[in-house]
Structure 1
Amino acid sequence: MRKLPDVASIPLAGNPDAGANSGINQLKGHRSARHDSAHLHVTGKATYIDDRPEMADQLHAGFGLSTQASAEIVSIDLDEVRDSPGVVAVITIDDIPGHKDIGPVFPGDMLLADGKVDYVGQPVFAVAAISHRLAREAATKARIEYRPLDKILGVDRAMEQSSFVRPDHTMKKGDADTAIARAPGQVSGEMTNGGQEHFYLEGQIASVIPLEDGQLHVYTSSQHPSEVQKLVAEVINVPLSKVVADVRRMGGGFGGKETQAAAPACIAAVLAVKTGKPVKFRVERQQDMISTGKRHPFRHRYQVGFEQDGLLAGVDIEVAGDAGHSPDLTDAIVDRAMFHSDNAYYLNNARVKGYRCRTNTASNTAFRGFGGPQGMLVIERIMDDVARATGQDPLDVRLKNLYGIGDRNTTHYHQKVEHNVLHELIGRLEKSSDYRERRKAITAFNDSSPVLKKGLALTPVKFGISFTARHLNQAGALAHVYTDGSIQINHGGTEMGQGLYTKVAQIVANEFGVSLDQVQVTSTRTDKVPNTSPTAASSGADLNGKAAQDACRKIRNRLTRFAAEHYQVPEDKVVFDNNSVVIDGKPMPFSEFVQIAYLNRISMSSNGFYSTPEIHYDRETASGRPFYYFACGASVSEVTVDTLTGEYKVERVDILHDVGRSLNPAIDRGQIEGGFIQGMGWMTTEELVWDDNGRLLSNNPATYKIPSIEDMPPVFNVELFEQANPEHTIYHSKAVGEPPFMLGMSVWAAIRDAVSSLSGYQVNPNINVPATTERVLKAINELKYHGVTKPEHEGQEVMANVD
């Protein structure tokens, strides 16, 4: 038998999922395969929505945006818009035939403004013209008169006004108040984190083609095709069966296309129905940044009691997320921030309360980590605070408080942390990164260097994997085996550059024992796999990989039974391997075998389905098992800070990340590296700025700085912590999309460590996120010239002496 090409295989040796005679390739180790579209990406041949050929009579959409943060619309004069060159149609809220509110979970997201506006950049009307340029120019000619209303900007103002989009929620365990009061040491403080722009390469875009009998084909750059299908159908008032949402690929998503891709698709659909012509809506970058939501800014407050050795006795944490003007996904995002307020640490007595604040900005939405990063920030700050108060290395305080020491395994939402790899993983990274030796060298350097100061930090990540909305933890797939032996697979997951299609193709190839080039993954379409969940929550491969496996095994089992009956052999003598079907030890080419099966009328098509088991959460009791398992990791970052300017450089990063049995090590490594850099950007340079009227000022690449190649650490070591996931995931892998993002926290902690050296490591500086050079310089000057006194607006920190 000839060897199966390297690109076709993934880790399956001794796979517990497979029976002894399952027919799966029993290959040792695991191998990487290139991204299925890599050659198209680098040659510019990958087809995105804007690359599709223009259709006959195709129109282009544009919209008019509000210039007020909160106002009543007194009058709208669109005559000049209608009379502009090339304009074919103009619509307002009154022209929408069906639902006018496209809120994904709760109402509050009007497709077009209805009598009032709630943020600067809210769509008020839309226009269709014969070109993109003419549509955009026409939209600028509207005359809208507003009557300003009171506006709320920022979490502090929302909390003062009790302005919320959803009720608050509390998780608790033990008696936090008593534990804090009785503890020999206390720390309290406040901090904030800013939002983050998704900054995908491909902006929001949709193309809608009207078909016969009232049907619509919607090409959408969306992480949630079924939601686009549903909302388009509701907006134009037709059954869902009349609408097909189609996603081949996105030029990035990061959560920004989970819910907010729906609006351009719905506007294009209304215009397409009104005109009877195809309509494409490509949102300009600046308009995209102004009109769509970001990562949620948060305000955090905390009070902590701790023992003499730094062990936490009790914590009281308050997190308040800035939802923007509507609920969108804020309820679940703040929940996840609350779930992750422990990060990797056991909270014996804890109360975590979360607020969902309504403000007059664009509705904030999903972003990689979905609230988890915001929740983790506060406990990582607490670890550093306790370390400074007790005179210890911050790593030692972190190690003492990790889950898994004795019976310290239950979270503040009463889920047991099982299969804990934190101690082994951190121990291995501590050694491989030479943390202790470097800590000594850095301390000595700081003692002798009056201007440049170095900082070092090791921070862990424990991230729960599953949608916290239980019903979303499901996926479907559709597999076809053709008579030439080629295989086509369709599933509910979407491809946004993360390599999901490649991983699913590898799974399919492995199930049938064929090479990867025999498998074709087709566009995600709602007419092939219905009722799909969004590709989010790091669950794309977990859910869709399992669904694809289920579809393949149904077909393979039919083929196995046929082979056993046709050739009069036991089923355990039929094995699929090396592009062959081995029947009683005799190989037959897979293509030849499926031709025989076809002639014998064996079905070679099947759907597949998977739903995550064992997960649940009771909001009334604030307890349950919201996560199927935890993915862990840790990073060590070293920085150098210039105390005269506040500028800093990340010198070295070491990462060890938990991937289970990796489906594709090359893709997983890319996700870890990219996630870390994106997290580092949020922690350091990506600053959103609004003026006093609620207008976004950082609305283009010149005013909003994502990390560039020059920001990459010159030493960047990434290793995979490979240990089979004990839970029954696909081939015992672990999700790798979101958890690496939070590894970027080590950069922020290292910056604060460097600045803390100015106080002899006695005080933690107040440096909110992002830690821009201005904020770093301000913290430096406070320690240099003002001792440990903190301005009130930066938050207060009180440390009691440890007896």
Structure 2
Amino acid sequence: MRKLITPSSQDKSTGRVHTSEKHESAIRQVQGAANYVDDITEPQGTLHAAVGLSDCARGRIFAINLDDVRASEGVIDVVTIDDVPGHKDIGPVFKGDPLLADGEIKFFGQPVFAVLASSAHLARQAALKGQIEVECEDAILTPKQAHEQQAFVRPMHRFGQGDADTQLENAVHKVSGSLNIGGQEHMYLEGQVSLAVPDEEDRMNIYTSSQHPSEVQKLVSEVLNVRLHRVLVDMRRMGGGFGGKETQAAQWACIAALLAHRNRQAVKLRLPRFVDMHVTGKRHPFSNAFDVAFNAEGKITATRMEINGICGHSPDLSDAIVDRAMFHADNGYFLGDSDIVGHRLQTNMVSHTAYRGFGGPQGMIMAEAMIDKIARYTGLDPLTVRKRNLYGETTGSKTPYGMEVEHNLLPDMIEALETKAQYWQRRESIKAFNQTSPIIKKGLALTPVKFGISFTSKHLNQAGALVHIYTDGSIQVNHGGTEMGQGLHTKIGQIAANEFGVDLSMIEVTSTRTDKVPNTSPTAASSGTDMNGKAVQNACITLKARLASCFATKIGKPELANHVTFTDGLVRLNDESMAFSELVQAAYFERISLSTSGYYKTPKLAYNRETGEGRPFFYFAYGVSMSEVSIDTLTGEYKVDSVDIIHDVGNSLNPAIDIGQIEGAFIQGMGWLTTEDLKWNDSGKLISENMATYKIPAIGDTPVNFNVELFGKENAEDSIYHSKAVGEPPFMLAISVWCALKDAISSLSNYTIDPQLDTPATPERVLNAVVATTEAMQAEAESKTSHSKYGDAFSASEVS
């Protein structure tokens, strides 16, 4: 299914937006001509770095012997934390992330030293020869251990509405549940890599695969003990990021810069995949629990929830990630009186970090777990329970954190999908199939997504841009966002082309550089196009005003400058027109500036963390998905047969790119919930450390029937051309697969038991849930038989 978006009249579109333009680097990427950091021609004499890792999860370092490392072939330099001239801790928000181990080991595989050699191979060989003596201590590896030892990376946070405790205590109908939610490896195609090139005196140029060039600039300057203006960071494109290069790209850039600074030669540090998986953070695993009260119709009256983010050894971004999990524990439902508490558990693991959805998925899945539990308790269809609890007039419109849910699209979207995808007909068909199929069982689920758009740290909601018009009419655009394959530069180019009314080929979006747009926010929180697109638009508006004034003056009507339009390569005022390139040339000769910056800050944001109330999001993006699955009850194996999606991207800037983002996000979300199983051994070592032991979805896992439709309703808020963010929200559409698997298992009990199915729902876990459900049914049947026999005997004795 495809639904193209037609431009709104208020967008003044010239056909450059709301159209399916191909990705600006597509041809280069297919041809292998797109440059990534590792493709940059290396300066003469470039050296290569590698890191030496710890082999225990927790302990005190009492000796480091690097003699064999220094004596290894090709080695030029070796550094430890003591060789850092400036800041030793590179924690992005809170302290706790030493550049290299500083007196203690915090996780298995922590970098302890770095070695510089004439080749990457020799550097990596030498790094294996370090002798690190550690007095090992008992590591904290589980949520239970963290709670028992009161190990937290940040204080707890709590919010809610009403009196949940009293409501739960007095409730006639209530259920409880818990869920262990696995993490996820980013598995970007391009691994972590940085190239540091020393310039004159203490200046440093950094080329890095990073979602946050400004943070890399700041941390490199602090590590080298130089001012920010001495460090330039250049980022053309990444081969995937997904959050794994938001904060954790900085460490490798800093190490490369330190070695380049010491040796006055260019240094490249590229992590091999095996090392990358050990030393970089993952999606946070969570261990959550809930109590929920409801009436006989399945409508929620009170909710209590505990959110436990397993953060690893340091804060990194965990404070905001657990906050976002809490913000999304309601998904699209009114939770009644509520009490939601979030803990940030410290464990001796690599510090977990940002990942597509940023905690939102780990909170949102709890709402769906509650709905399923209520449905099995009441005997109602899960979709019926979902619809009855949606935010609205018959429930409530205020979230647990006090934000009003305005412009809620979910009721209309759910109705559209249940009709188009024939939910109720398929539900009856599946029930009939399951009654006659002893081995294969089918499941069906339709689940919603309500995802808040904005950084929850208010100061990050700002963006800048720089636009140059050259005298031939071509335009160069620079902005603070980074391209990681998601099509950000393509949409930015479309925005600029639309504003000036020129062909997209006239726009060049250049590398993200800290010397062009300073103090940028990371490309994250699905805000890349929202914020940077607005900043570019504002710069274009300024330049258009200058050009319009020039044109109106040139034709003798300066008072009508506000009525000048830019369309189809022409500048027009009533019957007068001039080619855009001619006007640019004329403006140059009139000494009119053809360059300007643009700026944007997201409006309406005001969340008070002390009171747990406010508006942390500019708007919500919505989506609905329906998944049908088949499971083999003898083996636990399963397949996803069919997926139908309707997703809300507002007035889409580029429907083809948006649909691609939805499809990719869904498959990645499906991987998180089904196959991607992170495993650590009892020593705290990651053992799912390569593609042979960690399974991401393959092409064969893609549903045969996979239908995606855009909802096509423009954003009620004043976003760029009334579009909506698309990067993260569709990831959570995959929760419908998990719910469908539970539905198939529940069919064994005639839909009376809600099976315990922790994620990822691997075939092993599905089989365990099948066995547990079957055993529960057998136990119930035996109990009824026993009770019946006892009752008959009692009756007989009474008669006698």
TM-score normalized by the length of structure 2: 0.96
Distance 1:175 1:516 in 2: 56
**1:726 matched residue in structure 2:** 716
Aligned amino acid, residue 53 of structure 2: L
Aligned residue runs from structure 1 range 12-161, under 5 A: 12-15=7-10, 24-26=12-14, 30-161=18-149
Matched, 1:757 2:752: no
Task: Confirm or deny: 8 A CA contact 2:54 2:110 kept in the other structure.
Answer: yes
Query: What do the CA deviations read for 1:562-599 (whole angstroms, capped 9, x no partner)?
Result: 11122112224421110111233233211111101111
Matched, 1:168 2:163: no
For 2:125, what is the secondary structure of its paired residue?
Answer: helix
1:28 Cα deviation from its structure 2 partner: 10
Matched, 1:649 2:644: no
Aligned amino acid, residue 466 of structure 2: L
**2:681 matched residue in structure 1:** 691
1:466 Cα deviation from its structure 2 partner: 0.2
**2:737 matched residue in structure 1:** 747
Match among 211, 216, 219 for residue 228 of structure 1: 216
Does the C-alpha gap of structure 1 residues 497 and 177 become closer, same or farther in structure 2, counting only changes over 3 Å?
same
Match among 630, 651, 654 for residue 640 of structure 1: 630
Superposition RMSD on alpha carbons, in Å? 1.3
**2:796 matched residue in structure 1:** none
Does the C-alpha gap of structure 1 residues 789 and 384 become closer, same or farther in structure 2, counting only changes over 3 Å?
farther
Distance 1:567 1:68 in 2: 77
Distance 2:566 2:298 in 1: 57
Matched, 1:500 2:500: no
**1:664 matched residue in structure 2:** 654
**1:559 matched residue in structure 2:** 547
For 1:659, what is the secondary structure of its paired residue?
Answer: coil
Distance 1:178 1:304 in 2: 12
Task: Confirm or deny: 8 A CA contact 1:573 1:585 kept in the other structure.
Answer: no
1:160 Cα deviation from its structure 2 partner: 1.6
**1:781 matched residue in structure 2:** 771
Distance 1:771 1:315 in 2: 25
Distance 1:180 1:42 in 2: 58
Task: Confirm or deny: 8 A CA contact 2:14 2:568 kept in the other structure.
Answer: no
Task: Confirm or deny: 8 A CA contact 2:323 2:342 kept in the other structure.
Answer: yes
Gaps of 5+ in 2: 781-800
Aligned residue runs from structure 1 range 512-591, under 5 A: 512-569=500-557, 570-591=560-581
Distance 2:523 2:430 in 1: 43
**2:791 matched residue in structure 1:** none
Aligned residue runs from structure 1 range 349-498, under 5 A: 349-406=337-394, 408-498=396-486
Does the C-alpha gap of structure 1 residues 297 and 25 become closer, same or farther in structure 2, counting only changes over 3 Å?
closer
Task: Confirm or deny: 8 A CA contact 1:11 1:28 kept in the other structure.
Answer: no
Task: Confirm or deny: 8 A CA contact 2:174 2:293 kept in the other structure.
Answer: yes
For 2:201, what is the secondary structure of its paired residue?
Answer: helix
Distance 2:689 2:436 in 1: 43
Distance 1:478 1:667 in 2: 24
1:786 Cα deviation from its structure 2 partner: 4.1
**2:186 matched residue in structure 1:** 198
Match among 309, 328, 349 for residue 316 of structure 2: 328
For 2:690, what is the secondary structure of its paired residue?
Answer: coil
Aligned amino acid, residue 732 of structure 1: H
Matched, 1:256 2:251: no
Task: Confirm or deny: 8 A CA contact 1:225 1:525 kept in the other structure.
Answer: yes
1:633 Cα deviation from its structure 2 partner: 0.2
For 1:342, what is the secondary structure of its paired residue?
Answer: coil
Aligned amino acid, residue 494 of structure 2: Q
Aligned amino acid, residue 35 of structure 2: T
Task: Confirm or deny: 8 A CA contact 1:653 1:715 kept in the other structure.
Answer: yes
**1:801 matched residue in structure 2:** none
Distance 2:92 2:369 in 1: 34
Task: Confirm or deny: 8 A CA contact 2:77 2:115 kept in the other structure.
Answer: yes
1:405 Cα deviation from its structure 2 partner: 3.0
**1:183 matched residue in structure 2:** 171
**2:254 matched residue in structure 1:** 266
Query: What do the CA deviations read for 1:63-104 (whole angstroms, capped 9, x no partner)?
Result: 001111001112111011011111111000110000000000
Distance 1:404 1:287 in 2: 49
Aligned amino acid, residue 343 of structure 2: Y
Task: Confirm or deny: 8 A CA contact 1:10 1:29 kept in the other structure.
Answer: no
Query: What do the CA deviations read for 1:179-202 (whole angstroms, capped 9, x no partner)?
Result: 122222110011110110000000
1:395 Cα deviation from its structure 2 partner: 0.2
For 2:660, what is the secondary structure of its paired residue?
Answer: helix
Query: What do the CA deviations read for 1:772-797 (whole angstroms, capped 9, x no partner)?
Result: 0000000111122344889xxxxxxx
**1:219 matched residue in structure 2:** 207
For this pair of structures, how many residues does the alignment match?
A: 775
Distance 1:262 1:29 in 2: 34
For 1:15, what is the secondary structure of its paired residue?
Answer: helix
Matched, 1:611 2:601: yes
Does the C-alpha gap of structure 1 residues 368 and 719 become closer, same or farther in structure 2, counting only changes over 3 Å?
same
Distance 2:203 2:16 in 1: 49
Deviates more, 1:728-737 or 1:399-408: 399-408
For 2:715, what is the secondary structure of its paired residue?
Answer: coil
Distance 1:148 1:573 in 2: 74
Distance 2:223 2:683 in 1: 32
Does the C-alpha gap of structure 1 residues 787 and 97 become closer, same or farther in structure 2, counting only changes over 3 Å?
same
**1:592 matched residue in structure 2:** 582
Task: Confirm or deny: 8 A CA contact 2:315 2:351 kept in the other structure.
Answer: yes
**1:5 matched residue in structure 2:** none
For 1:494, what is the secondary structure of its paired residue?
Answer: coil
**2:785 matched residue in structure 1:** none
1:406 Cα deviation from its structure 2 partner: 3.5
Task: Confirm or deny: 8 A CA contact 1:11 1:29 kept in the other structure.
Answer: no
Matched, 1:621 2:611: yes
Task: Confirm or deny: 8 A CA contact 2:334 2:395 kept in the other structure.
Answer: no
Distance 2:159 2:641 in 1: 39
Task: Confirm or deny: 8 A CA contact 2:17 2:495 kept in the other structure.
Answer: no
**2:792 matched residue in structure 1:** none
Aligned amino acid, residue 116 of structure 2: A
Aligned amino acid, residue 762 of structure 1: T
1:14 Cα deviation from its structure 2 partner: 1.4
After superposing on structure 2, the runs of 4+ consecutive aligned residues of structure 1 that deviate more than 6 Å are none
Distance 2:486 2:102 in 1: 38
Task: Confirm or deny: 8 A CA contact 2:16 2:495 kept in the other structure.
Answer: no
Matched, 1:772 2:767: no
Distance 1:513 1:86 in 2: 57
For 2:649, what is the secondary structure of its paired residue?
Answer: strand
Task: Confirm or deny: 8 A CA contact 1:429 1:655 kept in the other structure.
Answer: yes
TM-score normalized by the length of structure 1: 0.95
Distance 1:536 1:279 in 2: 28
Query: What do the CA deviations read for 1:335-383 (whole angstroms, capped 9, x no partner)?
Result: 0000000000011200000000000000000000000000011110000
Query: What do the CA deviations read for 1:593-629 (whole angstroms, capped 9, x no partner)?
Result: 1101111111110000000011011111100000000
